[in-house]
């Protein structure tokens, strides 16, 4: 009788133990805004626009590169006149934008509609440009260094040439006639901008305050 009781106890223990280590179990806790394992995104037609006056991004946020972890809030990010942005969507008063250049391609947020323009005639003064297989040089009328196929920042314009700096610190001269200001592209983003607590006096540990 005692032996049977011991066997029943052992069987129950094994059932409980097996349930505890079930390999099909997935933790549903997440650092993302909705509590999911990965962020739910949708595709937008990003349209090139230019900033017409110095302005600050409001309701800013940064998406992770893998879209698998939480969204980080962003504060104090300043956009300057003639910065290029991509408009993801807009309403009567504001535009949701992303930065399509540099190391900041995951930065998103809202900009007042009065500080943004789609007028392509303004793009010639843009602070950024898009290079599509463009030959770069070591100086004005200098030696050819190679080709670039990426966005860059325009540091100087002179005699039909532009000095372009790229992420990573590379700097080259490019013929202004080779520059493109079309950044239109498909953008994956959240269906709605995330909402962060507005009345918290303690900032989140992952709060991003870029050095401008």
Residue range 72-104, pLDDT digits in tens: 899 999 999 999 999 999 999 999 999 998 665
Q: What is the pLDDT of residues 36-58, one digit of tens each?
A: 456 788 999 999 999 999 999 99
For residues 115-128, give the mean pLDDT: 96
- In the structure encoding, which two tokens stand for residue 137, read together? 């040089």
- Does residue 112 carry a pLDDT above 90? yes
- Does residue 199 carry a pLDDT above 70? no
Q: Considering the chain, what percentage of its residues have pLDDT values greater than 70? A: 70
Residue 110 — pLDDT band, cuts 50, 70, 90?
Answer: very high
| Alpha carbons 101 and 201: distance in angstroms, whole number | 33
Residue 194 — pLDDT band, cuts 50, 70, 90?
Answer: confident
SS3 at position 107: strand
14-18, 51-55, 158-162, 171-175, range with the lowest pLDDT: 14-18
The top-scoring range by mean pLDDT among 12-16, 19-23, 202-206 is 202-206
The model's pTM: 0.73
Q: 162 to each of 14, 165, 208, how far by Cα in Å?
A: 72, 10, 32
| Alpha carbons 61 and 41: distance in angstroms, whole number | 14
- Does residue 22 carry a pLDDT above 80? no
| Alpha carbons 196 and 40: distance in angstroms, whole number | 17
Query: Can you give the pLDDT at residue 70?
Result: 75
Question: Is the model more confident about 21 or about 97?
Answer: 97
59-68, 117-126, 154-163, 168-177, range with the lowest pLDDT: 59-68
Which residue(s) pair with 175 in the sheet?
Answer: 161
Contact 108/97 with Cβ under 8 angstroms? yes
Query: Can you give the pLDDT at residue 12?
Result: 40
């Amino acid at each position: 009788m005692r032996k049977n009781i011991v066997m029943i106890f052992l069987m129950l223990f094994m059932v409980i133990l097996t349930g505890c280590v079930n390999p099909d179990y997935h933790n549903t806790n997440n650092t993302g805004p909705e509590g999911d394992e990965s962020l739910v995104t949708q595709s937008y037609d990003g349209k090139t626009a230019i900033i017409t006056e110095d302005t600050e991004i409001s309701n800013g946020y940064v998406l992770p590169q893998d879209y698998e972890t939480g969204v980080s809030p962003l504060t104090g990010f300043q956009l300057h006149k003639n910065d290029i942005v991509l408009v993801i969507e807009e309403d009567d008063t504001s535009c949701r934008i992303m930065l399509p250049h540099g190391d900041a391609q995951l930065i998103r947020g809202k900009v007042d509609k009065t500080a943004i323009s789609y007028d392509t005639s303004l793009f010639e003064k843009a602070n950024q440009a898009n290079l599509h297989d463009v030959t770069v040089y070591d100086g004005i009328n200098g030696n050819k260094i190679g080709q670039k196929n990426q966005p860059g920042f325009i540091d100087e314009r002179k005699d039909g040439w532009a000095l372009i700096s790229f992420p990573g610190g590379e700097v080259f001269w490019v013929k202004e006639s080779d520059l493109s200001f079309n950044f239109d592209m498909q953008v994956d983003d959240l269906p709605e901008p995330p909402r962060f607590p507005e009345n918290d006096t303690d900032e989140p540990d992952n709060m991003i305050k870029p050095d401008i």
